[in-house]
Structure 1
Amino acid sequence: MLNISKGIISRPVKGCVYGVEGIGKSTFASKWPDPLFFDLDGGTARLDVKRVGDIKSWPQLMESVKFIYENPSTCRTLVIDTADAAERLCIEYICGKFCKKGIEDFGYGNGYTYLVEEFSRFLVLLETCITQGINVCILAHAVLKTVTLPDEMGQYDHWELKLSSKTTNKVAPLVKEWADLLLFSNYETILVTDDKSKKQKAQGGQRLMWTSHTTFADAKNRFNLPEKLPFDYSYIAKCIPDGGQVQEIVKSKPIPVPEAPAKPEPPTTKETPQVPAAKPNNPLLDKVYQLMKQNDITEEEIVKAVAMKGYFPDDMKLGDYPDNFIDGVLIGAWDQIKQFIINNISPFKA
């Protein structure tokens, strides 16, 4: 049976709002429906909001998110304030777990691989809150970086999430891919030329937010918003569900699908791992299946390892995993996944 549905699905929003210091990100998030702040940066003291301000470790943060999932009536929006503070807790946890003084002590980017894997687990946990009808808004600071074009074509400035900047770290891309709504907030300054001195002076300073990708910042939205708006919650309020309800606007009746007759399997002289065909138009799954084939790993072993590490249940298929998990964990931390399988599931493959 295929439960085919049609129309727009009303579901909670996964948002990420980043911008320069002091522009009002926390105030902006406080306007979301019934917000609860996980105040990791201590920046909500001047706001009349619900907050949890004593989260001091990564395991405590993970347990706090689990509590919201298990008690969805606690709030209608969960605000993580901020992503950079959460990343610091994650790094402290990883370094303590492996008795390292810093993330660089792992060598060859291994520390950042552990970081991506652990932060992916955090985003997956936030996803469970979405299934309970809770909006999630991640706040983050912005940092201006210089991007150098290839072949000496020049340089330009680009605003990015203020997360670890090593090329081996993919936490920032994970967060951006995870979000349905990625907003960049900044002050728009206008340069005016003085008629007498002919010198340019900066005027203005209006707070704006960008909802679509630009040359100077990453942004995106799935709500057909204008490219640039005043940095005020009222301009996106129509996009944010009130929480507690996840409905399908139009739903059709289940359509029975006849079972195809079973085909006899050709005899084989050698047992080989069965690698399923990748879903069409999904290069991430193609990459995973290629790695599986190269390393003699089966889908059953991948699914079992993922379940043992607590990411997803063992009855969830590989093709149903979120793309950010496939990219950040299965591909980004493939060596660790493979070693886990050798150590805990199929030691004969060592």
Structure 2
Amino acid sequence: MSILNNIKRGKQQRPQRVIIYGPEGVGKSTLAAGLPAPLFLDTEEGTQHMNVDRIQVDHYGAMLDALQDIYKEARNGSLPYKTLVIDTGDRLWDMCACQVIKDYNASPKDGKISSIESIGYGKGYAQASEMFVNLLSVFDNCRNAGLHIAVICHCRVETVNPPEGEAYTMYTIKINAPAKQAITAKEKLKEWGDAILFCNYVTTFTDGGKAKGGELRAVYTEHRATWEAKNRHGMPAVMAMDAGEISRLLFAADSDSSGSAPANDAHPANDEQAPPPAASAGDRQADALAAVIEDVPGALAFLAYKKEIRPGQDLKAVSEKFASFILSAPDRFNAAVLQHNTPAAQ
């Protein structure tokens, strides 16, 4: 039989691997709680205030045991969940390092140790890295059994020194490991993910340079110099923290099962209140832009002058690309609007 008989055509629907990261308190867990039928593997008791189904896992062995049972139930078709949420991925390295120390102390050759560094020649770190990558493979087993996988991480700010230009800082995924091992683990995690979503507060600045805002939060889905992100689903570059809309774009057929309010809403995800009517993509974009634009009428005049919109159109008509620019650099945009609309500029 010719191998050409095995060609598959068109898009292949499959469970997704999603990394959700951002600063403390921005609403990452609340966003994940609105994904289709989630089950949390809580590694640091971060979901105690939330109405979600969870399994508490505080060490490597407990994580493997939980994943094995979840895999069996999913394969049998008896698991009532569609998304497995690891909250947080930061702790995975800690679990691996502690397990290396535990394994070493189970049969010590030179006495018991309390630090992974006590295992000479970097062997301890190498073992922990191997365990970390192994966990990603075990996550994939659950994915192959039909579960979406979402890994929640905190973020850290790192300095990047590109060979072709000046150094700059950017938000990156946080891994609780020494620098060299953290880079390796983070790169493995980034390669593993089908989508990397960066969640952050939208902040603007006054003329005096004072920060304001912080109530509006956004999800960034495309890589920029100031953050890591990616998606393979044609998602808008900037989105509201709306679990229903994100589920629709990421998970397609499963999107109707989430039934959650946006993370920007006052009510926590998975509460017993009916979700508000879903806003259109244009409405959500207009709300996000209006929150950071200081002079909306002046901005509309400026956008029409720049031919980004036609005269008489509103903020919903702004292209996703230009809206992404405004949200990522609102102070620059507001300054340009002010300069354009002052009498000296006419």
Confirm or deny a common fold (TM above 0.5): yes
Query: Could you say which residue in structure 2 is the equivalent of 1:4?
Result: 7
* Bigger RCO of structures 1 and 2 (CA < 8 A, at least 6 apart): 1
Structure 1 runs, 4 residues or longer, greater than 4 Å off: none
Q: Do structure 1's residue 201 and structure 2's residue 213 form an aligned pair?
A: no
C-alpha distance in 2, partners of 1:192/1:47?
A: 35
Query: Could you say which residue in structure 2 is the equivalent of 1:134?
Result: 147
Identity %: 32
Query: Could you say which residue in structure 1 is the equivalent of 2:251?
Result: 240
1:270-322: CA deviation from partner (whole Å, max 9, x where unpaired): xxxxxxxxxxxxxxxxxxxxxxxxxxxxxxxxxxxxxxxxxxxxxxxxxxxxx
| Preserved contact between residue 12 and residue 241 of structure 1 (Cα < 8 Å) | no
Shift of 1:117: 0.8
Query: Could you say which residue in structure 1 is the equivalent of 2:128?
Result: 115
1:69-104: CA deviation from partner (whole Å, max 9, x where unpaired): 110132211100001122211110012212342232
C-alpha distance in 2, partners of 1:241/1:12?
A: 10
Of 63, 66, 71, the residue aligned with 2:65 is: 63
3-state SS in 2 of match to 1:237: helix
RMSD: 1.7
Letter in 2 for 1:64: A
Q: Structure 1 residues 109-118 or 209-218, which shifts more? A: 109-118
Unaligned runs of 5+ in 2: 106-112, 255-346
Q: Do structure 1's residue 186 and structure 2's residue 200 form an aligned pair?
A: yes
Query: Could you say which residue in structure 2 is the equivalent of 1:224?
Result: 234
What are the equivalent positions in structure 2 for 1:83-102 lying under 5 Å apart? 83-99=89-105, 100-102=113-115
Matched residues, number: 236
C-alpha distance in 2, partners of 1:43/1:145?
A: 25
Q: Do structure 1's residue 143 and structure 2's residue 152 form an aligned pair?
A: no
C-alpha distance in 2, partners of 1:242/1:128?
A: 21
Q: Do structure 1's residue 154 and structure 2's residue 166 form an aligned pair?
A: yes
Q: Do structure 1's residue 32 and structure 2's residue 57 form an aligned pair?
A: no
Q: Structure 1 residues 213, 50: closer, same or farther in 2, change over 3 A?
A: same
- The answer to which structure has the higher helix fraction is 2
Shift of 1:229: 1.4
| Preserved contact between residue 44 and residue 58 of structure 2 (Cα < 8 Å) | no
C-alpha distance in 2, partners of 1:234/1:165?
A: 37
What is the TM-score of this pair, normalised by structure 1?
0.64
| Preserved contact between residue 17 and residue 184 of structure 1 (Cα < 8 Å) | yes
Q: Structure 1 residues 213, 70: closer, same or farther in 2, change over 3 A?
A: same
3-state SS in 2 of match to 1:146: strand
1:154-187: CA deviation from partner (whole Å, max 9, x where unpaired): 3211111111242244111111110111111111
Unaligned runs of 5+ in 1: 194-198, 244-350
Q: Structure 1 residues 241, 129: closer, same or farther in 2, change over 3 A?
A: farther
Q: Structure 1 residues 162, 168: closer, same or farther in 2, change over 3 A?
A: closer
3-state SS in 2 of match to 1:5: coil
C-alpha distance in 2, partners of 1:22/1:168?
A: 26
Letter in 2 for 1:70: K
| Preserved contact between residue 17 and residue 195 of structure 2 (Cα < 8 Å) | yes
What is the TM-score of this pair, normalised by structure 2?
0.65
- The answer to which structure has the higher strand fraction is 1
Query: Could you say which residue in structure 2 is the equivalent of 1:291?
Result: none
